[in-house]
Amino acid sequence: MDIKGIVTDQLKDQAKSNLPIIQSKLNEIVVGKIQSKDFEKKWATVVNKKINLPGISEKAEQVIFEKMIDKGTDLVAGVMQEILEEAVEEALEQL
């Protein structure tokens, strides 16, 4: 085998061993941000500005939307984890 092939194989091996670590860190960062109270509050505020619930005060609407968003971020976090896992699997297949 030539030097280029040896180096290429070593780079592929390193990439394969590092992808799970990268996936784990991405999960930690992305899911952590999605499930942070700051993100949930910002998202709920945006929703509250776009949607009016007749007969309910803005303050009460904010509380409702924050609770809804809290549940929604749990779902989004789960989906993001699946997407990241699939992306890593696809990347490994391409190596």
89 by DSSP, 3-state: which? helix
Tally DSSP H helices, then E strands, for the chain: 3, 0
- C-alpha 34 chain-centroid distance: 6
Question: Can you give the pLDDT of all 95 residues of the chain as single tens digits?
Answer: 688 888 888 888 888 888 888 888 888 898 899 999 999 999 999 999 999 999 999 999 999 999 999 999 999 999 988 988 888 888 878 87
pTM: 0.66
88 within 8 A of 23, measured Cβ to Cβ: yes
